[in-house]
Amino acid sequence: MRLSDLRGRSVAVWGTGREGRAAVIAVAAHGPASLVAVDDSANFLSLPWDGALAQAAPLHIGQDGFEHLAAADVVVRSPGVPQTHPWLVELRSRGVFVTSGTALWMADHAARTVGVTGSKGKSTTSNLISQLLAAVGRPNIFGGNIGVPLLDLPAADLYVLELSSYQCSDLTDSPRVAVVTSLFPEHLDAHGGEREYYRDKLNLIGHGPETIVINGTDARLVAEVGDRPAVRAAMPDTFHVAPGPDGVPYQFAGDQPLFPRSVFPLVGRHNEGNLCVALAVLDALGVDCVAQREVLAEAAAGIQGLPHRLAEISDPSGVVFVDDTLSTSPYSAMHAIDAYDGRQLTVIVGGNDRGLDYTPLREHLAQRQITVIGIPDSGERIVEQLRDLPSVRTELADDLAAAVRLARKLTPADGVVLLSPAAPSYGRFRNFEHRSEVFAQAIRDTATG
């Protein structure tokens, strides 16, 4: 279904965050017979619904909203509405057509789009693709889950999009190049289980993409993709990192050395894999990466980490504070912890408790000397799983600001304080940006000297 197909139909937009607001404006411009907005979870964090939004779509909140959804020809679901929501299950059982702003947009733009998803690495990889393409003379628009709803994007010849599992699940069109960076259990409460999560995530590659690119070192991802034709990046026959001509690690394209790994400033083995995937995407789009090696090396050297993803914050004390608030699972926190291997590390964990199994994090920290501070809601449960590990110091704090104060007391001047929550932000914060703002403010409020 395209946006133009909504003309003359009754439409309900479910959700009033960024995606819902963008959907209301976009749908209203296509002449629906009627248009309403529904928010069943309005609370003190909700933004005002007024002005042009209220004129375009009257808002119905709370339990009253279901009947307005059920009466619509089409429901446009915001990504924050989980697949397991009882209303969504009932709407589908009644035959109500449910789509999303992402699916509506993709129906019109798939042929000009690189879509990137993954349980970890999608933000960094999509950013890498966008910047490297621009460096070789392929301008593009960057958006999606990174903060700009697709329906708000300007017209362009090429798009690079970061897409969450929530955004992928309703797609009926795959992007021209469909990219998956990694796969591990995530957001299980919102999808209904591990199998359902994988199904929704891999829906990105399920509708005839021209090219599929995956990280070939991710065993679970490789198994789930199976025998579908795909470029398996980070493997020796494609883009990978290996000892180069002088014995130091090099970025390779097959057997051709491109540039030293040290050129690329982002830390961690996982970021090596992200760069390999990004280069494989450029190759799929017709970029001669060997011929452009010098341009790509210069561009890779200038890559800056994304806000909220292993973003370092300077502090007069000498402690390095790191904002990794996009970390929403134990696996992503494990990668972040690995990036600071060998440093005195205090990590702050906890957020919305989706019932995730934190056993992998426990196993990962079993031989490490580290301090872990848990914050609500899941922090107490995470800390409890780690409490008896001999080299792990565990503490609890009432909130994120209190955790920063405690971290300052526990972390030596040459140490690192890492916010890698291993849990989503919602519940106590409007979104991940809000959590990041609170972290940064707490750092400023507690700084001395």
pLDDT digits 0-9 by tens, 10-33: 999 999 988 999 999 999 999 999
336 phi and psi angles, rounded to 5 deg: -65, -40
Query: What's the whole-number mean pLDDT along residues 405-429?
Result: 93
The more confidently predicted of residues 207 and 40 is 207
DSSP three-state, residue 179: strand
**So what's the pLDDT on residue 273?**
95
Residue 219, both tokens? 């065993």
What per-residue confidence (pLDDT) applies to 302? Answer: 93
Out of 37-41, 73-77, 273-277, 398-402, pick the least confident: 37-41
pTM of the predicted model, to two decimals? 0.79
Share of the chain above pLDDT 90, in %: 78
Query: What mean pLDDT is reported for the chain?
Result: 93
Mean pLDDT over 149-156 rounds to: 94
In this prediction, residues 137-162 reach a mean pLDDT of 92
Residue 187 — very low, low, confident or very high, per pLDDT cuts 50/70/90? low
Sign of CA dihedral 52, 53, 59, 62: negative
pLDDT reported for residue 307? 78
Model confidence at 270, pLDDT cuts 50, 70, 90, reads confident
Residue 5 class from Cβ within 10 Å (0-12 exposed, 13-18 middle, 19+ buried)? middle
- The string of pLDDT tens digits covering residues 212-236 is 999 999 999 999 999 999 999 999 9
The C-alpha angle with vertex 203 and arms to 202 and 205, in degrees rounded to 5, equals 75
Q: Are 214 and 206 within 8 A, CB to CB? A: no
pLDDT value for 82: 87
Amino acid identity for residue 363 in this structure? E
Q: What is the mean pLDDT of residues 412-427?
A: 92
Q: Compute the distance between CA of residue 172 and CA of residue 387 in angstroms, rounded to an integer.
A: 46
Which pLDDT tens digit goes with each residue over 61-84? 988 899 999 999 999 999 889 888
Residue 269 or residue 75, greater confidence? 75
Mean pLDDT value of segment 87-104: 96
Find the mean pLDDT for residues 394-398. 97
- Burial zone of 357 (CB within 10 Å; 0-12 exposed, 13-18 middle, 19+ buried): exposed
Q: Residue positions in the annotated binding site for ATP?
A: 118-124
| pLDDT one-digit tens code per residue, 160-178 | 999 999 899 999 999 999 9
411: confidence class by pLDDT, cuts 50, 70, 90: very high
Q: Of 230, 274, 232, give the one whose Cα is nearest residue 251.
A: 274
Share of the chain above pLDDT 70, in %: 97
Average pLDDT, integer, range 184-194: 72
What pLDDT shows up at residue 45?
57
Q: Which two tokens stand for residue 118?
A: 């993954």
The whole-number pLDDT of residue 131 equals 96
How many CA atoms lie within 13 Å of 134's alpha carbon, on the beta-carbon side?
15
CA 332, chain centre distance (Å): 11
Instruction: Assign 44 a pLDDT band (cuts: 50, 70, 90).
Output: low
CA nearest neighbour of 67 among 55, 57, 79, 75: 75
Residue type, 200: D
**pLDDT value of residue 153:** 94
